[in-house]
Structure 1
Amino acid sequence: MILAELLALKRSDDAGLAAQLTQQLRALMASGRIRSGAMLPSSRSLAAELDVARNTVTHAYEQLVAEGYLRVAARRRPVVTDDIEARFAKALPAPRRDAARKPLLSPWALQLSDTDWPLSYQADFRPLRPGLADAREFPHEIWARCLRRSALRRRFNDQTVVNRPSLREALRDYLEVSRGVRAEADQILVLPTAQAALTLIAATTIVAGDAVWTEDPGYPGAAAAFRAAGANVVGVSLDQWGMMRTRATRAPKLIFTTPSHQHPTGRVMPVARRTELLASAEPGKTWIVEDDYDGEFHYDSRPMPALQGLDREGRVLYLGTFAKAMTADIRIGYLVVPPSLARTMEIAQRHLGLIASVHVQEALAGFMADGYFLAHVRRMRRIYRARRDHLAAALARQLGEVLTAEVPPGGMQLIARFKDGRADRDAVTRLVVAGVEVRALSSLALERPRDHGLLLGFAAWRENEIGAAVRIMANCLTGKRAARGQRDARTISE
């Protein structure tokens, strides 16, 4: 350390050079820049470096020795005393007792808890964690070629184009054919995640105190985004067709729904209910957010057209993600907005910094244009359907006396409800300890939980892993020793 570089003496200062030097050296020791036991330059050397008289440095050193911050010996350079940190710690004012209880945070931030969404899962992926795609089945080599081609052949100097036209056009064509979405390319925003899209929606449509309706039980990330914007989030109950009609006399500012596969139940909203929902949202007063988070995976019938495609009044914002159809680390979501919102929301997207990598966008556009995306989705649709059926059969065989599985027509997870009405969170804790990672249905409730059960993922797990996990579940939930228990534990850990 060159001490002179940390000092700045002003000859015009009325305090004088010696007083300035004393004060600045004391401050450097208080801040920890000069530590206990440090040896300072000699008065002759420091005076030469600062271009001041030697007496100026000598007077400063003598003052600090008198205060107990330095010690000197004959013909030796000054040394900082050993307990300098403790001396300054005693001199600092004690922290206020209420400082920890009243941090400078927003009311929303003060209510955050890691027991809520996002989920505090273990670092290791373990069956039967819901909501995951199987990254082992993804064509990583092909994707790597697309990324490399994007990085080598493209130059992205125009920083104002945050939504790449090539991906917008590829998405428009794909969504029109596969999901019945009606939109122009400039209505599509590309974002880092689906959650980023919810944040953008909340920031641009919600005023503090606005009412927002969400499904109950439902996707907790939506409630988190809307509450962060100051919304009053109200849970709407479900029936066998998804979100029920409500008798509320006052329309909300926004309605959030997952009609293609209700999260978490997997129920599909029929066209008649979708039409009713659209009719209840008066143009200019209520927006509808349609989250089609895993709409690529329908197994038992052709998928219903998106709610957005039925809308003729520009009320629906359509939300999707590539994290389910590809892998979670792709980190690309998209939002289709009504024409009246397109310009404003793209400006807001830039202001909030919700911008996806342009290289990944171009790589994804190429991945879709070359047919790899559709080929992968078709292949995974067959694989996931077989895994769904395998899980349902294993649950009926091993746990039929305890659980009733609801087999969804699509998606990546299913619900199994307890027949005896037992608390699901205790069961989840036992299963996690045993090596099976599931989600408690009651934890997805906005209001007081009405249902108890387990949310089980099947998409990311091969059939031998599913079988091993269900046998471990049987051991935990029935008390009966299923066969192959030790081998099952090894299969889970591997």
Structure 2
Amino acid sequence: MDDLLPGMLDLARDGGDTLTRQLTDQLRDLIIRGRLAPGQRLPSSRQLAQSLDVSRNTVSFAIEQLAAEGYLSLSAGRRPMVAAGLSLDRRRISPQGNRAASARLSLSAWAGSLHRASWPPVHDGRPRPFQPGLADEREFPHDVWSRCLRRAARNAPLRRDRPINHPPLQEALLGHLVVHRGIKAKASQILILPTAQSGLTLAANVLLERGDHAWIESPGYGGANVALHAAGAVVSAMPLDAQGMAISSPRDAPRLIFVTPSHQYPTGRLMPIGRRLELLRFAETTGACIIEDDYDGEFHYEARPVAALQGLAASPRVFYLGTFSKATYADIRFGYLVVPEALIDVFEIAQRHMGMLTSITMQDALAEFIGAGAYLGHIRRMTRLYKGRRDRMLQALAAEAGDRLSIEVPAGGMQLLARCQTNDRQLSARLLEAGVVSRPLSNMLYHRTGEQGLFLGFAAWNEKEIDQAARILGRIVR
């Protein structure tokens, strides 16, 4: 072995790694592969250094490192020995072996179903018309936001008390929600979360036991469907009528109901006051909780915004979910959840346990952005702009697609639903090839129906972009 070992080692003098690192790694690899067997003695450090033409310190450091890791045994006056009793898998694992091993890994039923899920929709590359759910970041007051961020960053070392939900942001956001969305709450009831989807996941995990029944709208938001299923709920798809979710009296009462009453996702329908009160009474009667997703409730075009469901009654059963990404732009992805006062403590503990924490510096910047009036000013300006874009899109689609599409005109929001008579998944795929992004309605349906349509966003696109994309859509639809 004294003669053979140096020939098993190949140290690069001009390599990126030090000689000590190379020697350590190569000796370790020889032991793992079984070329140096347990109980086998190595040359002395002096002999090995001479054979490899390296310093004795280089060899000594490598041997001491491997001894510390348990690969070698050292004893005074004796040469290093490969540790006895090592039980190592000496098979060389090929990439094919790795793939085969991965295939044998046991996954949860939820994880195993992910490849079949139609949510979230993913489009590679830059955003393109008519991709839904996007604000126009070109119109965002980036200079104002940058100043808020810089001040927040400078103030960061001065903050000693760091609660996970920043009180200045809770206060600023509450002031906005009370006036403009009719929310009834205290600032401490607002949890600041990485995304609105994480708020949905948090609420589902806190409120649901595995096997509990939950309702979602159909067609509806795919993120709610996956969050409730992941929490172990038995999810029922509730069809819509002209007023939104059709409320029935099932044999198995729901533990949780997810709704989008301000602009139903994806139809854009506004749930009228009568249906809202009916839903609240149903929840009280059955003991159900309601998650109200007000994802783009800031934008109303035909009348004053309708107050949120959460503010209609002093109910401890309504959880109000919102996001900053729609009213600002996609990089400000913070979401927030208004929880009943009695549940603040348990929700904050669950928030910590699930790691749903956000940067205090970013929260501080948002607090200033809202408190200084920049947030409301931006919403008001974008409401005017988005209304014009909605109207332009309606005109362009009518001119290019004519009677091939039936459009539900939304009273607000950032996207619309255009129903069609052809296979919407095939149509959406053809549009994507031509550079136009849409979402097929059939991917958002959770009950059996023959409805077909395209979900199209207008908020992020200017008039020229809308006209160009409408011409492509019209040509393909025709």
If the length of structure 1 is used for normalisation, what is the TM-score?
0.80
Q: 1:445 offset after TM fit, Å?
A: 1.0
Is residue 210–residue 253 contact of structure 1 (8 Å, CA) maintained in 2? yes
| 1:55–1:343 CA distance, 2 compared to 1 (3 A) | closer
Alignment of 1:422-461 (within 5 A): 422-461=422-461
| 1:159–1:232 CA distance, 2 compared to 1 (3 A) | farther
| 1:5–1:127 CA distance, 2 compared to 1 (3 A) | same
Give the distance between the partners of 1:31 and 1:221, measured in 2 at CA: 53
Other-structure match for 1:45: 49
Q: 1:5 offset after TM fit, Å?
A: 8.1
Matched, 1:120 2:122: yes
Q: Which of residues 254, 269, 272 in structure 2 aligns to 1:270?
A: 272
Give the distance between the partners of 1:297 and 1:27, measured in 2 at CA: 66
Matched, 1:335 2:337: yes
Q: Which of residues 412, 416, 419 in structure 2 aligns to 1:417?
A: 419
Give the distance between the partners of 2:284 and 2:33, measured in 1 at CA: 67
1:284-310 deviation digits (Å, cap 9, x = unpaired): 831000000001100001111111001
Is residue 283–residue 315 contact of structure 1 (8 Å, CA) maintained in 2? no
Letter of the 2:92 partner, please give it: A
Other-structure match for 2:105: 103
1:356-399 deviation digits (Å, cap 9, x = unpaired): 11111110110111111111000000000000000001111111
State how many pairs are aligned: 427
1:407-466 deviation digits (Å, cap 9, x = unpaired): 100000001111xx2111111111000111111011111233431011110000001100
Give 3-state SS (helix, strand or coil) of 1:365's partner: helix
Q: Which of residues 367, 372, 378 in structure 1 aligns to 2:369?
A: 367
Alignment of 1:174-189 (within 5 A): 174-189=176-191
Alignment of 1:344-423 (within 5 A): 344-418=346-420, 421-423=421-423
Give the distance between the partners of 1:179 and 1:355, measured in 2 at CA: 25
Q: 1:129 offset after TM fit, Å?
A: 0.4
Q: 1:45 offset after TM fit, Å?
A: 2.9
Letter of the 1:465 partner, please give it: E
**Larger CA deviation: 283-292 vs 466-475:** 283-292
Q: 1:53 offset after TM fit, Å?
A: 9.1
| 1:29–1:100 CA distance, 2 compared to 1 (3 A) | closer
Q: 1:31 offset after TM fit, Å?
A: 11
Alignment of 1:122-137 (within 5 A): 122-137=124-139
**Larger CA deviation: 151-160 vs 161-170:** 151-160
Give 3-state SS (helix, strand or coil) of 1:436's partner: coil
Give 3-state SS (helix, strand or coil) of 2:115's partner: coil
Other-structure match for 2:475: 475
Give the distance between the partners of 1:248 and 1:53, measured in 2 at CA: 79
Give the distance between the partners of 2:92 and 2:124, measured in 1 at CA: 40
Q: 1:110 offset after TM fit, Å?
A: 1.1
| 1:44–1:52 CA distance, 2 compared to 1 (3 A) | farther
- For structure 1, the 5+ residue unaligned runs are 8-21, 33-39, 61-86, 479-494
| 1:89–1:469 CA distance, 2 compared to 1 (3 A) | same
**Larger CA deviation: 255-264 vs 347-356:** 347-356
| 1:392–1:5 CA distance, 2 compared to 1 (3 A) | same
Matched, 1:306 2:308: yes
Give the distance between the partners of 2:126 and 2:48, measured in 1 at CA: 62
Letter of the 1:27 partner, please give it: I
Alignment of 1:50-199 (within 5 A): 56=79, 88-89=91-92, 99-113=101-115, 115-155=117-157, 158=160, 161-199=163-201
Other-structure match for 1:489: none
Give the distance between the partners of 2:113 and 2:441, measured in 1 at CA: 22
Letter of the 1:2 partner, please give it: T
Other-structure match for 1:82: none
Give the distance between the partners of 1:453 and 1:149, measured in 2 at CA: 46
**Larger CA deviation: 172-181 vs 46-55:** 46-55
Give the distance between the partners of 2:161 and 2:152, measured in 1 at CA: 16
Other-structure match for 1:35: none
1:79-108 deviation digits (Å, cap 9, x = unpaired): xxxxxxxx9539x9x969985554222211
If the length of structure 2 is used for normalisation, what is the TM-score?
0.83
Other-structure match for 2:326: 324
| 1:450–1:181 CA distance, 2 compared to 1 (3 A) | farther
Give 3-state SS (helix, strand or coil) of 1:155's partner: helix
Give the distance between the partners of 1:30 and 1:202, measured in 2 at CA: 51
Give 3-state SS (helix, strand or coil) of 2:470's partner: helix
Letter of the 1:89 partner, please give it: R
Matched, 1:2 2:20: yes
